[in-house]
């Protein structure tokens, strides 16, 4: 009976803490760029990023944020007049210094969700979005997270009535109910191209071989984390693939076009 009362008391404290954290949580969107005005370029970004952020095609920019999150992701709308404009932006993306630049080919017509509470009104018709994260911001955020244990969740363990001490537990970082074994990787310089947009001519795009290209949506979180200690492989943490749709659906037709384009690009780069 004593153990049961202690468990009820513990669970009550946990629930109270969760409700308190939810009550204090907040989110919003900061405007970081407006049409015709010079936008600030973070010193934490790779050299060459400013060439896209302050390109004449750039209109508005947004920084979605959530309380206590690193809030490092910035999105910039790019309104093109022609395929030449888009290929010029792709060339600028390829010119950004760093190990990775990526292009996401979306089956949509325009961006909608940008993360947390930020969403674009329907009908804006933005054909291209530039997104970038900030690794230094994530590093600083990670340092101030609380340490926790990567063993079984304590509440689950207590409910089962079993506590098994293990001497080889690793210390990981915790944010809310999420745990991180190592520092997440920031979103690299990314162009999301909305292939259904009438301003985009997919087959006319000139994408250099060094750029990572795949079907995907607007990145809204971390790029990924290492799968395990000592592994160099990366797992994308924020890729939202287009769901399977009916054959007659426009998104399905667009996805088929994208896949043909990627297959052709792969054959060319392999030569």
Q: What is the pLDDT of residue 171?
A: 65
253's torsion region: left (phi>0), alpha (psi -120 to 50) or beta? alpha
Note the pLDDT tens digit of each residue in 73-109. 999 999 999 999 999 999 999 999 999 999 999 999 9
Note the pLDDT tens digit of each residue in 21-60. 444 668 999 999 999 999 999 999 999 999 999 999 999 9
Cα separation, 221 vs 235, in Å, equals 13
Please report, to the nearest 10 degrees, the dihedral formed by the alpha carbons of residues 101, 105, 109, 115 taken in order. Answer: -50
Q: What is the pLDDT of residue 50?
A: 97
Which residues of the chain carry a pLDDT beneath 50?
1-23, 152-169, 226-235, 238-248
Predicted TM-score of the model (pTM): 0.78
Q: What is the pLDDT of residue 10?
A: 35
Q: What is the pLDDT of residue 250?
A: 85
What HEC string does 110-141 produce?
CCCEEECCEECCCCCCCCEEEEECCHHHHHHH
> What is the average pLDDT value for the chain, to the nearest integer?
80
């Amino acid at each position: 009976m004593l153990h049961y009362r202690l468990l009820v008391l513990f669970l009550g404290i946990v629930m109270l803490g969760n409700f308190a954290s939810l009550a204090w949580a907040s989110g919003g969107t900061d405007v970081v760029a407006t049409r015709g005005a010079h936008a600030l370029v973070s010193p934490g970004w790779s050299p060459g990023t400013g060439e896209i952020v302050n390109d004449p095609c750039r209109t508005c920019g947004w920084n979605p944020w959530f309380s206590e999150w690193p809030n490092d992701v910035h999105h910039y709308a790019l309104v093109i007049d022609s395929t030449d404009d888009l290929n010029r932006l792709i060339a600028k993306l390829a010119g950004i210094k760093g190990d990775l630049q990526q292009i996401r080919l979306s089956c949509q017509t325009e961006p909608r969700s940008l993360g947390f509470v930020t969403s674009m009104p329907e009908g804006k018709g933005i054909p291209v979005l530039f997104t970038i994260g900030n690794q230094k911001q994530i590093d600083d955020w990670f340092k101030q997270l609380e340490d926790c244990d990567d063993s079984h969740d304590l509440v689950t363990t207590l409910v089962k009535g079993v506590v098994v001490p293990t001497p080889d537990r690793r210390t990981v970082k915790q944010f809310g109910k999420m745990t991180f074994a190592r520092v997440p990787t920031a979103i690299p310089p990314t162009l999301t191209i909305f292939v259904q947009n009438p301003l985009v001519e997919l087959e006319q795009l000139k994408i250099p071989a060094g750029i990572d290209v795949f079907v995907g949506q607007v990145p809204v979180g971390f790029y990924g984390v290492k799968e395990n200690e000592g592994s160099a492989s990366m797992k994308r943490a924020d890729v939202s693939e287009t769901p399977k749709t009916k054959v007659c659906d426009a998104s399905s037709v667009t996805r088929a076009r994208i896949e043909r384009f990627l297959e052709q690009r792969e054959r060319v780069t392999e030569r």
